[in-house]
Amino acid sequence: MAPDSFDRAVMRDQIISQPALLRHIVEPAAQQVADALHDVQPQRWQAIYTAGCGDSFYAGLACEMAFARFCRLPVKALAAMPFARYEAGQAPTPAGLFGISNSGQVARSIEAVALARVAGLDTVAVTGNEDSGIAREAAATVAVPIEPMGRAPGIRSYTVQLVSLLLCAIRIGELRQMLTAAEADRWRQRLVEVADCMAAAIAAADTPAREAAERLGDHEDWVFLGSGPSYATALFNAAKLVESCGANAWGQDVEEWGHIQFFNNRERTPTCLIAPPGRGLDRALELFPHIKAVGRHTLVVTHGDPASLPIPADTFLPVPESAPELFTPLVYCLAGELLAYHLAEVRQSRFFQPTGGASGAGDRLRESRVLRRLDELPFD
């Protein structure tokens, strides 16, 4: 058990602060994006890539739809190592890579930018540290620093990464003349307005998330489901449970659940369906009775009334206000963040606790060899 002096409320404070954070950063971040992309020529690009580790990978994946919609290009969001060691050398050029790292010091993310650059891609670092290794490696940098508010699972940093990437997608769409200046301005204003959706979601989900944590606090296995941008949200929410209280949590695509976790023999595994209005909603609702039928404790994060579900959920986590599906990653992660916080409270957990006496220090991430030439990669 963690001593009472350990302050888990830092995580809650970060969650609650996000609507105000969004309102505060959109305008300066939009200017940062415009400045960073001033000398970039996305009109030439044949494809867009994102690469990062952990939350930074999920942020790129969450914004895949927005890049495709606004820029009208093929988009591929990869973890940093698969991009660097398996994709960079065969990527079409010219193309653009957004290397994402809040600290800017993660070795694999720096490597992704380095190998993209030598492969002939235009490189943009998205980071919270303009003096970091990833910023030095990239041709251009979008660096939006924020007050960290104490050590907790990444919450505010994820919001900033999403906002930065969404603004990049809008600006590139504008530069490629897929959006008029007026349309781009309207999308930026709609992004600001998402703050109201976030505030309403936090207020509505807090109590049911706490009650679910109290009922389910002894469960070790958890599954989060989503499709499209919400698949990234499922991965992110699973990560928050692991980081906050050490739970064994997975993120999974909705359809893939029907192929794999349907056969999990831990009948009462809490399974959270993240289902915003959009392209995947009908299939999510179609599969929901099957999730219930195999005995899972169901949690559903969605917009609208509980009566809209084909059968009742065990826990309903409402999202009272709607947002464009492109922007839903900013909103639909909040219920899972609150759940992770409340589970940590119920279990009296410390954050970031590896097992077996291992150190939680970041040397495993930051102090490894960084490849900077494609010919350093072995080939058959």
The Cα 154–Cα 206 span in angstroms is 18
307: number of Cβ within 10 Å? 6
Whether residue 361 is predicted with pLDDT greater than 80 in this model: the reply is: no
Across the chain, where does the E strand assignment appear? Answer: 48-52, 75-79, 96-101, 122-127, 140-143, 221-226, 248-253, 271-275, 298-303, 315-319
The answer to whether residue 355 is domain-embedded is no
Q: Which amino acid is at 162?
A: L
d(CA 45, CA 235): 29
Q: Is residue 246 part of a domain?
A: yes
Average pLDDT over residues 36-61: 97
Does 220 lie in the same domain as 72? no
Q: What is the pLDDT of residues 312-359, one digit of tens each?
A: 999 999 999 999 999 999 999 999 999 999 999 999 999 998 887 676
Max intra-chain CA distance, the chain: 58
Average pLDDT over residues 220-230: 97
Q: Which long-range contacts (CB under 8 A, 24 or more apart) does 352-359 make?
A: 352/151, 352/153, 352/243, 353/246, 355/246
SS3 state of residue 272:
strand
As a whole number of angstroms, the distance between CA 132 and CA 52 comes to 15
Order of all β-strands in the sheet with 298-303:
248-253, 221-226, 271-275, 298-303, 315-319
pTM for this model (two decimals): 0.95
1 found inside a domain: no
Confidence of residue 148 (pLDDT cuts 50, 70, 90): confident
Q: What's the confidence (pLDDT) of residue 4?
A: 46
Bond from prior residue into 277 cis (ω within 30 degrees of 0): no
Are 40 and 175 found together in one domain? Answer: yes
Query: What is the residue range of 171's domain?
Result: 9-194+360-375
**What's the token pair of residue 209?**
């998330």
pLDDT tens profile 186-195: 999 999 999 9
Question: For position 52, which CATH number holds?
Answer: 3.40.50.10490
Q: Are residue 164 and residue 45 in the same domain, yes or no?
A: yes
